[in-house]
A and B are shown apart, each in its own frame.
Chain A
Amino acid sequence: MIAVRLLCWLAFVHITGIYLFTRGFLLSRLALPNKSREEQEQWSRFATHKRAVLLVIDALRFDFVSDHPPDPPSPNHHNILTLPRELTAAYPQHSFIFNAYADPPTTTLQRIKGLSTGSLPTFVDIGESFSGSVIQEDSLLHQLGSSWTQGQFSGVAFVGDNTWLSLFPTFLDHNLSYPFDSFDVEDLHTVDSGNQWTLAIGHGLGVDHAGHRVGPDHPVMRAKLEQMNTFLGQLVRIIDEDTLLILLGDHGMDQTAGVLLFRRLPYPYPPKLLPKTTFPGERLPHRSIQQIDLVPTISLLLGLPIPFNNLGSIVPELFDRGDSNVNEALELNARQIKRYLDAYRASASGGELDVSDAPSDTRVSALFAFSRLSLSTCRLTLIGGGLLVMFTGIVASYALYTLLGNSGGDRKQKLEKIGALGSVASGFAYPLVRDYLDGVHAHHLILFGAALTSSLTLSLTCKPRFTFDIIKSTPVLLILHTLCFASNSFTIWEDHIVPFLCLTSLVPSVLIGFTAPTPRLRNRILGFSTLFAVCVRLMMLSTVCREEQHPNCTVTFYTSSTSSAPPVLALVLAPCHGRTTFWIFEWIHSMEWFGDVGNMWLRNGRTMVARVTVMLVIFAGLAFWSAIPVCLDIQRTERLKSSHFKSPDLDTQVTVTLLGFANAFGSPYLILWSIFLSVVWLCMQLTGQVVLGLFTVALLAYLEIVDSVRDVWGLYQAYSKGFASTTHPSNLNLDGLPLKREVQFSEIVPLALLATHAFYGTGHQPTIPALQWKTAFVLVSSVRFPYSQITVILNTLGPYFLAGLAAPLLALWNFPPFLPSSPSLPVSHQEDVVLSVLRSCLGLTTYFNSLLLGSAVFAAGLRRHLMVWKVFAPRYMFSALEMGALDMGVLVGVWGVWRTSAARKRGIEGDRRGGTVRNWSGEG
Chain B
Amino acid sequence: MPPARARTKKVALSSTASESQRSFFPFFQYASVVGVHVILAGFTALYLPQSTRLFGPLPVRKTDRPQSEFMEALTARPAVTVAWTLAGLCVLQVWWGTWVRKWYFEQNAHGTSDEIKITRAKAKGVWFSRLREAVGFTLLATVVTHIVIVLFGAPLLSHLLQTGLLASTVAILTAFVPALVFGYPSLASDTPVNRLNWIRLFAELSPRNPVERIVVYPAVGTVVGAWVGAFPIPLDWDRPWQAWPLTPLYGSLAGYIIASLAALAVNSLKWLAQEQLRSVQPSTKYKSS
Contact = CB atoms under 8 A, between A and B. Distances in A.
B157 to A, nearest CB: 10
Interface in A454-501: 487-490, 492-493, 496-497, 499-500
A534 interface: yes
B156 A500 contact: no
B234 A541 contact: no
A515 interface: yes
A592 to B, nearest CB: 33
Contacts of A541: 156
Contacts of B86: none
A533 interface: yes
Say what secondary structure dominates the interface of chain B.
loop
B150 A504 contact: no
Contact of B234 (A497, A503, A534, A540): A497
A540 B153 contact: yes
Given A514-B199, A515-B199, A515-B203, A534 B151 contact: yes
Nearest to A490: B234
Contacts of B234: 489-490, 492-493, 496-497
A726 to B, nearest CB: 19
B227 interface: yes
Contacts of B28: none
A487 B150 CA distance: 25
A511 interface: yes
A534 B148 CA distance: 10
A537 interface: yes
Interface in A501-524: 503-504, 511-512, 514-515
Contact of B236 (A488, A512, A514, A515): A488
Nearest to A533: B151
B221 to A, nearest CB: 15
Nearest to B205: A511
Interface in A150-201: none
Nearest to A488: B236
B204 interface: yes
B195 to A, nearest CB: 10
A515 B199 CA distance: 6
Interface in A750-787: none
A534 B230 CA distance: 20
B235 interface: yes
Interface residues of A, number: 22
Given A515-B199, A541-B156, A503 B151 contact: yes
A500 B152 contact: yes
Interface string B114-158: 000000000000000000000000000000000000111100100
A208 B119 CA distance: 81
Contacts of B150: 537
A514 B196 CA distance: 10
A492 B235 CA distance: 9
A489 B235 CA distance: 5
Contacts of B203: 511-512, 514-515
Interface in A523-538: 533-534, 536-537
Contact of A500 (B153, B202, B235): B153
B230 A500 contact: yes
A499 B235 contact: no
A490 B11 CA distance: 51
A70 B205 CA distance: 57
A489 B239 CA distance: 14
A504 B153 CA distance: 11
Contacts of B205: 511
A514 B234 CA distance: 33
Interface string A784-812: 00000000000000000000000000000
- Which of B150, B153, B156, B230 has the largest count of A CB atoms less than 10 A from its CB? B153
B174 to A, nearest CB: 14
A226 to B, nearest CB: 38
B235 A487 contact: yes
Given A489-B234, A537-B150, 9 more contacts: A489-B235, A489-B236, A490-B234, A496-B153, A499-B152, A500-B153, A503-B152, A511-B203, A515-B203
18 contacts: A487-B235, A490-B234, A490-B235, A496-B234, A500-B152, A500-B153, A500-B230, A503-B151, A503-B152, A504-B152, A504-B227, A511-B204, A512-B203, A514-B202, A514-B203, A536-B151, A537-B150, A541-B156
Give 8 closest A-B pairs by Cβ, nearest first. Answer: A514-B203, A493-B234, A489-B236, A489-B235, A511-B203, A533-B151, A537-B151, A515-B203
